[in-house]
Amino acid sequence: MQMLTAGIDIGSLSTEAVLLSDHKIVSYSILATGADSRRAAEKALNEALGFAGAAPEDVRFTVSTGYGRTNVPFADLQVTEITCHARGALYTFPDTRTIIDIGGQDSKVIRLDEAGSVIDFAMNDKCAAGTGRFLEVMARALEVDVDELPELAVGASRAAAVSNVCTVFAESEIVSLIGQGVPRPEIALGILESVAERVVSMVKRVGLVPKVTMSGGVAKNKGVVQALERRLGMEIRVPDEPQIVGALGAALIAESRWRKATYL
């Protein structure tokens, strides 16, 4: 029988589950949350267990986090995503001092002290500007897949101005730019820069301290990462799988709690 701890991050768009054993990632799962966050949590955990060849009884302690963390009846503890993202980022890059997390429907910036404790954060969960949802809507207006935006933007000599903060108005602005004959690469670059601008304003509120780690699904978009690097003037490290950082942090907290409870 394996001895595992689990972390489950239930976001508005995706749910991630991570299994740990002896401080090492055994397996993980990423899937769409859908309309039932409780079912998504159960399915993500079962999928991760399947990948690990483990059974539910192998899990000693479970921590849930994220938007739907209270909808996980089998969780032993609920922890805020700020704390979990900090733990997950530090596991991946121990010298992290600033975390930028951009998810499907929200974005956050977290600042850590030298001991790795959270000392300040800013969060945008009221508006889709600067999130994965914003990118998806803008890409659709350009009639390209969101993953194609960085490649399309490479051909731009300058970035088109995308000034509207509201996603609905920004989409109309993109349609207007297309109608004016503005080259699509310039519009694509403008979209990426717009997201970076929104996030950098949050970074400034929290205070930028090197080194910077980025998490969340949007961290897979190289165009956004590069736009942020240009504006911040420094390298941004991205984990191999940035989407599981919150769930990883939750699993680490679960492991710590279980070890403390069993005096291991």
Q: What is the 3-state secondary structure (H, E, C) of 29-81?
A: EEEECCCCHHHHHHHHHHHHHHHHCCCHHHEEEEEEECCCHHHCCCCCEECCH
Which of these ranges, 104-113, 128-137, 139-148, 203-212, has the smallest mean pLDDT? Answer: 128-137
> pTM to 2 decimals?
0.92
Q: What is the pLDDT of residue 165?
A: 66
Q: List the one residue out of 101, 91, 83, 105 whose CA is nearest residue 216.
A: 101
Inter-residue long-range contacts of 76-81, CB under 8 Å, 24+ positions, other chains counted? 76/254, 76/257, 77/253, 77/254, 77/257, 79/250, 79/253, 81/9, 81/108, 81/246
Q: How high is the pLDDT of residue 222?
A: 95
Orientation angle between helical segments 222-232 and 184-206, nearest 10 degrees? 50
Asked if domains 1-93+240-264 and 95-238 share a fold, the reply is yes
The CATH number given to 95-238 is 3.30.420.40
Question: How far apart are the C-alpha atoms of 56 and 78, rounded to whole Å?
Answer: 19
Residue type, 256: S
Class of domain 1-93+240-264: alpha beta
Q: Where are the domains of the chain?
A: 1-93+240-264, 95-238
| Rounded CA separation 100/98 (Å) | 7
> How do residues 153-166 score in pLDDT, each as one tens digit?
998 989 998 877 67
3-state secondary structure at position 264: coil
Rg (C-alpha) for the chain, rounded Å, is 19
Tell whether the model's pLDDT for residue 192 goes beyond 70. yes
pLDDT more than 70, % of the chain = 97
Percent of the chain with pLDDT over 90: 83
Contacts of 260 (CB under 8 A, 6+ apart): none
Q: What is the pLDDT of residue 2?
A: 75
- For residue 211, whether the previous peptide bond is cis, meaning omega lies within 30 degrees of 0, is yes
Residue 80 CA to residue 51 CA, distance in Å, equals 26
CA 40, 46, 50, 53 torsion: positive or negative?
positive
84 touches 5 (CB < 8 A):
no
Q: What is the pLDDT of residues 3-61, one digit of tens each?
A: 899 999 999 889 999 999 999 999 999 999 999 999 999 999 999 999 999 999 999 99
